[in-house]
Chains A and B, each alone.
Chain A
Amino acid sequence: MSDRWNRRKISLAAILICCASFVGWTCAARGEGGEPRYFAIKNARIVPVSGAVIENGTVVVAKGLIAAVGANVTIPPEAWVIDGTGLTVYPGLIDAGTNLGLPPEEGGEQAAAAGGRRRAAPAGAIAAGPEDRPGTSPWRVAADELKVDDKRIETWRSAGFTTALTMPDSGIFPGQATVIDLAGERAGDYVVRAMATVPISLKPTDGWFTFPDSLMGTIGYVRQVFDDTRWYTVAGPIYDEHPTTRERVPYDRTDVTLHHALERKEIFLLPGNNSVQILRALRLTSEWKIRGVLYGGQQGYAVTDALAASKIPVLVSLKWPTRPKDADPQGEQTLRELQFRDRAPGTPAALAKAGVKFAFYSDGLADPKEIFKSVKKATDAGLSADAALRAFTVDAADILGLSDRMGSIAPGKIANLVVTDGDVFGEKTKVKDVFVDGKWFEIHEEAPAAKPDEKKSDGDDEAGGAASREIEGVGR
């Protein structure tokens, strides 16, 4: 018997009351989608991130949003109440760079197997010459291609992640990345902001056969794309006003897409992992006059001053550099490589000290456990737990331009919460509950691998799972 069960013991009477009132309540709830929509977590330690820790407080969730938080909060009568004694409530964690819900593309694996550094772009997107826009499909939006049966979504959610930036990955302008919340019925339910960022990769093609096949060619190409977009921005309206005296402006969906992205000040993600790449990306961001955010950032420790001066935030990859697997044991390793591998996890601490805003992203790590191991390396290297938490919550939300709706526990914010039995980054900490958009997920100790044939009763393992435990005083 776990302490937890004792703590949350539900008496038979309570269940009966619960059932009785539940029938009536549910009828109303059904009208709104059939799921409970009001919750309260009481007697919990609450870490709002945006404000001081509340040692014993209550969070009230109503219709997907946080309705109230504080030490003395009135719990609405319709709320399902969770006793949070001994538990801590954090804002849901944000993974600022994944491909959750975007399984690898067909053809991509083949290209990778053939030694390709870059996956093939979808049919029709790749072309041969500079004028034909190689690897350029910014009009693709991750939201439109979301596959919500991606098993990793549950894995991430069960580890405390409620939100992810998920980005297409193929080509130079692979397509726009989408901020998703990690729950919903249909793909559309997941989407917080469909066109959240425009990732740019600067990865050349292979060999000498497809433009661009060099880094400098790729940069030259992207520069041309921005030239073309800016031209469209100027030329389009002139033509529309004077169609009888001016030449028609040709339609180019890259120009159109990026024009709109620039107009709404969408974030452009530029790669920069080592110090040279970071400084280069800073220069290009300012040259191209884009709202830039860097990704990679692992050698940021060497260029903190430049990053701080630029005020450009960084998404730090948690895939810390390691000695390549199957490396030649006799192979010479340069001091520089060794230093980089040694110091990279110190980057978050260095950025925090320099006042550079940063968030973390899993960058292809296969399992959230790996994410937390990586975070531990960063905290071991001097990053405060508080700063680490900010990087996964309020700072990530801020960088993604979503701090008005997520990243902290405050009234009006999306009810993305993670409830743990200890420090959120603690090695032995267990995630007990996760709320995504106000939907409650009870987390099992070992999230069982969901088998398609294993029917979970009426399939209500989203919020319906709520019914399985520790509800007290529902409908008081």
Chain B
Amino acid sequence: MKRANWLKVMVASAAAALVAAAPMPTRAQNPGTILIQNATVMTVTHGNIEHGSILIRDGKIAAVGKDLKVPEGAAVVDATGQYVIPGIIDCHSHIAVDGSVNEGAPAVSSMANINDVLNPDDIDIYRDLAGGVTTANILHGSANPIGGQTIVIKLRWGKPASELPFEGAVPGIKFALGENPKRSNFTVPPGVPARYPATRLGVEEVIRQAFTEAREYKKQWDDYNQRKAAGEPNLIPPRRDEKLEPLVEVMEGKRYVHAHCYRADEIMMLIRVANEFGFKVRTFQHVLEGYKIADEIAASGAGGSTFSDWWAYKMEAFDAIPYNAALMTERGVVVSVNSDDAQEARQLNQEAAKSMKYGGLSANDALKLVTLNPAIQLGIDNRVGSIDVGKDGDLAIYNHDPLSVYAVVQKTLIDGRVYFDRQKDIAQRAELAKEKQALLDKEKKAEEEKKPDEKPEQKPEQKKKRPKDDGADATAVRGAL
């Protein structure tokens, strides 16, 4: 669930202003071979390399280090004085979705799938790119104890929906605990029956009930498959159930649970319910009281994806503290900082940096909050999250240290292609404005031309150009009938 707008009072990022012109998707440069030279390379896994270079070949990082030679035919990016970090990963995003991010009517909406409604034309993709984000975990909203199916995408602006999903990433499902699913901040219009559940107890019961059904469903299929394999004829197969199948996948470890939560008690509840049904929660999202039970979360194997410093915007957020990320990190939880918001996603570098002030994380650990850690949480750290040979060429290049408020993204690359280039963006603004004005003028002109010829249509009905005796003829003939 997105937070209320009034919460989003935020330092206006340079990136926000940058993309106001809303440029159309442009074909990203052919990857081929790219050498980024003379930058401060913040690898995340093995320190910073001053005056370092990164060689990307066919979309993958081929070499990282000092004094890399320029291979023949390589495009060279001179990044002197600039900083390169792994592309930012937003572990909680609602961008690029057509229609509502909530299927809110049923308490269990797992038949809804974000993958069905990806919208590659959402301008927020481009805006996120301008903030250095290359990968986002696109989540269903938090209206239901068990929400819809979710998907990890790469922000390949200009590509069709089918090319957004992060290849091989384990799909997810959204759960939600607390005030949103029990709808305590929600007035149901008259005549509409209130939805169950209305309490945290009810939220737990709904989840337990759904998994009980899913277990029974799985049993039906196992039984059917067994009997079929044994050669029993004329079996009627069980019905497919789009709601329960994702839950079976959760129990089989084929689908990650990303659970929206705030309070320590509800988090503990979900850990217990998950144990009961033999699955693991992959990430606790928001997890504002995670610092209270960091050991338990760490022991459960779940990650924590939290806000940097938001609190007290509703009852269940009163105990939130900006030290949450640092405290959980200290206790061994894999922690990420997420945006939950298209605007905030453009400054996740700053959100990460806040944990240096609140909790004293090292610069590298702070950077991990938006790179390697969310990659681990999403099970894609073999591909992204750090600048290592063999990983995807997903990078963000800043003009300043990305952990400073002065840092502005210069280029964002995915699979070795440049998907955002600040200089190009600036350069094409005038052209886009011109195109827009031309289209506006054209419409205006067409409307003005249309006005005069609307009048003839309203002319009084014309008399039929027929001879007067026609009627008489007609009568004569009819008379003959």
Residues of chain A whose beta carbon lies under 8 Å from any beta carbon of chain B = 1-2, 4-5, 10, 15, 18-19, 22-23, 26, 128-130, 204-205, 207-217, 219-221, 223-224, 227-228, 230-231, 234-235, 238-239, 241-242, 245-247, 249, 274-277, 279-280, 283-284, 306, 323, 333-336, 338-339, 341-342, 369, 444-446, 448, 457-458, 460, 464, 467-469
B424 to chain A, nearest CB (A): 16
Whether the pair B240, A227 counts as a contact (CB closer than 8 A) is yes
Cβ-neighbour of A214 out of B22, B102, B443, B461 (below 8 A) = B102
Question: Which residues in B have their C-beta under 8 angstroms from that of A224?
Answer: 111, 240-243
Which residue in chain A gives the minimum CB-CB distance to B462?
A: A446
Secondary structure type dominating chain A contacts: helix
Whether the pair B160, A279 counts as a contact (CB closer than 8 A) is yes
Cβ-neighbour of A445 out of B101, B148, B465 (below 8 A) = B465
Query: Contacts A129-B106, A209-B104, A227-B242 given; 4 further ones with Cβ under 8 A?
Result: A212-B112, A216-B99, A216-B116, A220-B148
- Name 24 A/B residue pairs within 8 A (Cβ), A-sorted: A5-B465, A19-B477, A204-B99, A211-B103, A214-B117, A216-B140, A217-B112, A220-B112, A227-B242, A234-B236, A249-B236, A279-B161, A306-B160, A334-B22, A334-B123, A335-B24, A335-B432, A335-B435, A336-B24, A338-B436, A341-B439, A464-B478, A467-B477, A467-B478
Query: Given contacts A215-B117, A231-B239, are A468 and B477 in contact (CB under 8 A)?
Result: yes
Whether the pair B477, A217 counts as a contact (CB closer than 8 A) is no
Query: Given contacts A235-B236, A335-B439, A336-B22, are A213 and B474 in contact (CB under 8 A)?
Result: no
Taken residue by residue from 221 to 245, chain B's Cβ proximity to chain A (1 for < 8 Å, 0 otherwise) reads as 0000000000000111101111100
**Interface check B4, CB cutoff 8 A:** no
Whether the pair A468, B473 counts as a contact (CB closer than 8 A) is yes
Residues of chain B whose beta carbon lies under 8 Å from any beta carbon of chain A = 22, 24, 97-106, 109, 111-114, 116-117, 119-121, 123, 140, 143, 148, 160-162, 188-189, 192-193, 195, 234-237, 239-243, 432, 435-436, 439-440, 442-443, 457, 461-462, 464-467, 470, 473-478, 480-481
B189 to chain A, nearest CB (A): 7
Cβ-neighbour of A210 out of B105, B242, B443, B465 (below 8 A) = B105
Whether the pair B481, A448 counts as a contact (CB closer than 8 A) is no
A326 to chain B, nearest CB (A): 14
Whether the pair A15, B481 counts as a contact (CB closer than 8 A) is no
Shortest beta-carbon contacts, A-B, top 7? A215-B99, A208-B104, A217-B103, A220-B111, A214-B100, A468-B474, A211-B105
Whether the pair A276, B467 counts as a contact (CB closer than 8 A) is no
Whether the pair B192, A341 counts as a contact (CB closer than 8 A) is no
Whether the pair A208, B477 counts as a contact (CB closer than 8 A) is no
B25 to chain A, nearest CB (A): 10
Most buried by A among B104, B161, B243, B467: B104
A462 to chain B, nearest CB (A): 14
- Give the complex CA separation of A228 and B114 in angstroms: 22
Whether the pair B105, A212 counts as a contact (CB closer than 8 A) is yes
Secondary structure type dominating chain B contacts: loop
- Give the complex CA separation of A67 and B140 in angstroms: 61
- Give the complex CA separation of A335 and B111 in angstroms: 35
Whether the pair A216, B148 counts as a contact (CB closer than 8 A) is yes
A-B contact count (CB 8 A): 201
Question: Which residues in B have their C-beta under 8 angstroms from that of A369?
Answer: 457
Query: Given contacts A214-B100, A280-B116, A446-B461, are A338 and B106 in contact (CB under 8 A)?
Result: no
Query: Given contacts A130-B111, A212-B105, are A335 and B436 in contact (CB under 8 A)?
Result: yes
Which residue in chain A gives the minimum CB-CB distance to B186?
A: A208
- Give the complex CA separation of A467 and B239 in angstroms: 63
Whether the pair A22, B478 counts as a contact (CB closer than 8 A) is no
Whether the pair B242, A223 counts as a contact (CB closer than 8 A) is yes
- Give the complex CA separation of A109 and B294 in angstroms: 55
Question: Which residues in B have their C-beta under 8 angstroms from that of A284?
Answer: 116
- Give the complex CA separation of A234 and B239 in angstroms: 10
Most buried by A among B100, B103, B435: B103
Question: Which residues in A have their C-beta under 8 angstroms from that of B143?
Answer: 208
Whether the pair A209, B105 counts as a contact (CB closer than 8 A) is yes
A277 to chain B, nearest CB (A): 8
B438 to chain A, nearest CB (A): 9
Question: Which residues in A have their C-beta under 8 angstroms from that of B478?
Answer: 457-458, 460, 464, 467
Whether the pair A238, B480 counts as a contact (CB closer than 8 A) is no
Question: Which residues in A have their C-beta under 8 angstroms from that of B111?
Answer: 130, 217, 220-221, 223-224
Cβ-neighbour of A468 out of B101, B140, B443, B470 (below 8 A) = B470
Question: Which residues in B have their C-beta under 8 angstroms from that of A238?
Answer: 234-236
Whether the pair A231, B99 counts as a contact (CB closer than 8 A) is no
Cβ-neighbour of A212 out of B103, B192, B476 (below 8 A) = B103
Query: Given contacts A214-B102, A276-B161, are A339 and B439 in contact (CB under 8 A)?
Result: yes
Query: Given contacts A2-B465, A335-B22, are A213 and B104 in contact (CB under 8 A)?
Result: yes
Whether the pair B106, A333 counts as a contact (CB closer than 8 A) is no
Query: Given contacts A19-B480, A204-B99, A215-B100, are A234 and B160 in contact (CB under 8 A)?
Result: no
- Give the complex CA separation of A334 and B448 in angstroms: 22
Query: Given contacts A18-B477, A213-B100, A469-B470, are A342 and B442 in contact (CB under 8 A)?
Result: yes
Whether the pair A234, B237 counts as a contact (CB closer than 8 A) is yes
Whether the pair B116, A219 counts as a contact (CB closer than 8 A) is yes
Which residue in chain B gives the minimum CB-CB distance to A457?
A: B478
Which residue in chain A gives the minimum CB-CB distance to B192?
A: A209
Cβ-neighbour of A280 out of B22, B161, B239 (below 8 A) = B161
Whether the pair A469, B473 counts as a contact (CB closer than 8 A) is yes
Whether the pair A219, B117 counts as a contact (CB closer than 8 A) is yes
Whether the pair A130, B100 counts as a contact (CB closer than 8 A) is no
B237 to chain A, nearest CB (A): 6
Whether the pair B439, A220 counts as a contact (CB closer than 8 A) is no
Whether the pair A242, B435 counts as a contact (CB closer than 8 A) is no
Whether the pair A1, B113 counts as a contact (CB closer than 8 A) is no
Whether the pair A231, B240 counts as a contact (CB closer than 8 A) is yes
Which residue in chain B gives the minimum CB-CB distance to A469?
A: B470
Question: Which residues in A have their C-beta under 8 angstroms from that of B461?
Answer: 446, 448
Whether the pair A204, B100 counts as a contact (CB closer than 8 A) is yes
Whether the pair B462, A216 counts as a contact (CB closer than 8 A) is no
